[in-house]
Structure 1
């Protein structure tokens, strides 16, 4: 059953991609509790689309080990760009500013399309206060996958398993079945799914950590049980919710109030 709660759907908005020779253009997608915190997955062959909003500033955050060395901006009048360590702060100075930008850090090169729009108010969910880059594999840019094969789980005693999962997002990578045995989480995909998505565990703040998986018969096995997973394959994104262990957002708010 597809989860229909609007706040959770906002987490799973799919990348909008326009194919061009050798490159893809990727937009930031909402990922956290507040949709104004967004994420991009780094690929050296992608061009990243940043949409700024006139009258508002935003920032792009690279990895902890990166420092911005150089920025080349097509239109230096229509955009204000300020580098600061692993971040760059961006602010469109004109309502319809469109240009390109190249950012060179001590580790990587990033290519951006910059666009500017107007927002109705500061709570507009399309505004990006912060965009964080995710790096599936720091060693080479490829998603880490583990394909060791083991026996399938025995479902003759279903009471031993938790099937209480819901999903929201792309049907292209939607599993047929999801369950866990309190130690591992099992995903069964359609046979036509020749490519397996990357799996990320999501924490209460919306931060994602990539996890390895293995093959167990017709199942993909993630050797973890989590409140929430994000699955990604190309421009397809799917959120998976373990309804038997939802996030305790009230305790998170209480912790913030105590600070």
Structure 2
């Protein structure tokens, strides 16, 4: 038999002569005072501190029992059933108030975890400089899922604003021979940040690729156009 514990309750224990009823306290709990029986002549109690045993000497009698532990006080009404009648061989307790506290604490922790996860997932980059000082002149080619929404630099770092995708691409810098060099990046919010600037970048993931080119690059036709305009 398992009782829900409340501090002001009196628990009825059905016992039987010739049988012991086991009172089992929770782990780490034990009686700190001598058990108080109302009738010490016709009732026996033994054991302790966590496991106690009560037994009547004959049927049809009743008495009270008080147990004071290091955690709680228990009040019992002991009843000796008739031979063949119902009795409890073992009784224990659960503690609804403490369960509520544990559940509330778990709920608070879960809500805090969810809130922090949402904060991190929705976190946007707060640029350290005035956004008006950024250089935004980048052309983006490619239709991969990770194609940046925006690319800009502050003169020392390049920022790639990536859509909400499961896997982030690697970032490479191509040389004049189109050989790719992997560069170190870090993730902050929905930005991939490279601690360098370059006129060209390539973003790759598996067989998908996005190329990025700065408008700082001067093509031969740009020079030719300006030269012709002088005549």
Give the TM-score, by structure 1 length.
0.37
Task: State the TM-score, normalized to the length of structure 2.
Answer: 0.41
| Bigger relative CO (Cα 8 Å, ≥ 6 apart) | 1
Q: Which has the higher helix share?
A: 2
